[in-house]
Structure 1
Amino acid sequence: MTDPELSQASDPKDGARGAAEQESADPASGQPASPSAAQSPSETPSQSASQSRSEPQSPTQPRTGPGAESEPRVGVVLVSHSHEVAIATADLALALVGSGVPAPVATAGGVEGGGIGTSATLIRKAIKHVDAGRGVVVLCDMGSAVLTVKALLAETGEGALPDTVRIADAPFLEGAVAALVTASAGAGLDLVISATDDARMYRKL
């Protein structure tokens, strides 16, 4: 004969499950907590900024103003070891162009992934982006940027850069402004190069 008290006794496993359900219930509503409501450490502003910096942007950045493609002009490429320096220089040059549509300008700053350095691949992409058939002037900041562009210009055969791509012997910032302002006015390749030469000769003292 079965003892009624034994038949009514709860399984110890059932009791453990019931306790777990009570612990996971929302104290305010008594409803089970949603898995998405699981508590996680709060993200601080500094952590958010750090994550943002860790996601590099594409080093090659077209900075052409809207409508620039309506009139072919000499293109300008800015090659820097730093993505941020190249972008800031292009933005300053664009701001100094004034009214009207600026000539096409693109940057090749840093390497793929956003690090410091020089990338032949990014330089090629930038030149292709701004080449509208009237030539491209390339300005470099220093060192390997200059050497990389010279090596690209020296290549022959399939994949070589067009003959209308020229490197400017000019300071990076002043040359960028002179090149973009002159190209935006509709000047040809030789005049744009000449403008960068003038920037190289400009004395501050």
Structure 2
Amino acid sequence: MSHSKAVAESVAALTRALLGSAEPGPLALAGGTQDGGIGTSAALIRGAVRAVDEGRGVAVLCDMGSAVLTVNSLIGDEEAGLPAGTRIVDAPFLEGAVAITLTSAVGGDLDSVLAAAADARDYRKR
């Protein structure tokens, strides 16, 4: 989930390229608003989460604070219709996307995906 469709598409393209021939787990993008602008869209988020739901939980990676607020409001609203087990990933956007995609490609479950994202969050670049 990014405020920008172009950013979401670019990050997804990079993570897929880094995987090489490995197939990622289910992946859907929600970038920008429904009219193509910058921002968040509850409808796009709901659609993306539902598109990848296989009944084992869904990890949602957000780029910035208001995206987290939007996803949290959907998770907390039973009428929003998000699948049970939808979780926000607490990780930097690019590094988290790589960790999530790689972990799902090797068959990791939701807990493994969240753990890989936590490792990406804690990795120090010094």
Same fold (TM over 0.5): yes
* Number of residue-to-residue matches in the alignment: 126
SS at 2:29 equivalent:
strand
Tell me which moved more, 95-104 or 177-186: 95-104
Higher strand content, 1 or 2? 1
Counterpart of 1:191, as a letter, is S
Structure 2 residue identity aligned to 1:179: I
Q: Which residue of 1 aligns with 2:96?
A: 175
Instruction: Determine which structure has the larger helix proportion and give its number.
Output: 2
Q: Point out the structure with max Rg over C-alpha.
A: 1
1:94 aligns with 2:16: yes
Identity %: 59
The 5-angstrom pairing of residues 29-108 of structure 1 reads 79-108=1-30
Q: Distance in 2 between matches of 1:102 and 1:178?
A: 11
1:69 aligns to what? none
Q: AA paired with 1:149?
A: V
Return the letter of the residue paired with 1:100.
A
For 1:164 and 1:112, locate their aligned partners in 2 and report how far apart those are by CA, in whole Å: 25
Q: Is the Cα–Cα contact under 8 Å of residues 55 and 83 in structure 2 kept in the other structure?
A: no
Report the AA paired with residue 166 of structure 1. Answer: R
Code of the aligned partner of 1:174: E
TM-score, scaled relative to structure 1: 0.59
Structure 2 gap segments, 5+ residues each: none
Deviation at 1:152, TM superposition (A): 0.6
Is 1:190 aligned with 2:111?
Answer: yes
2:61 to 139, 142, 154: 139
2:73 to 147, 151, 156: 151
TM superposition outliers: structure 1 runs of 4+ over 3 Å = none
Question: What amino acid maps onto 1:119 in structure 2?
Answer: S
Question: Hey, what's the Cα distance between the residues in 2 that align with 1:97 and 1:135?
Answer: 22
- TM-score of the superposition, structure 2-length normalised? 0.95
Quote how far apart the aligned CAs of 1:131 are.
1.0
Q: Which has the higher contact order (CA 8 A, sep 6+)?
A: 2
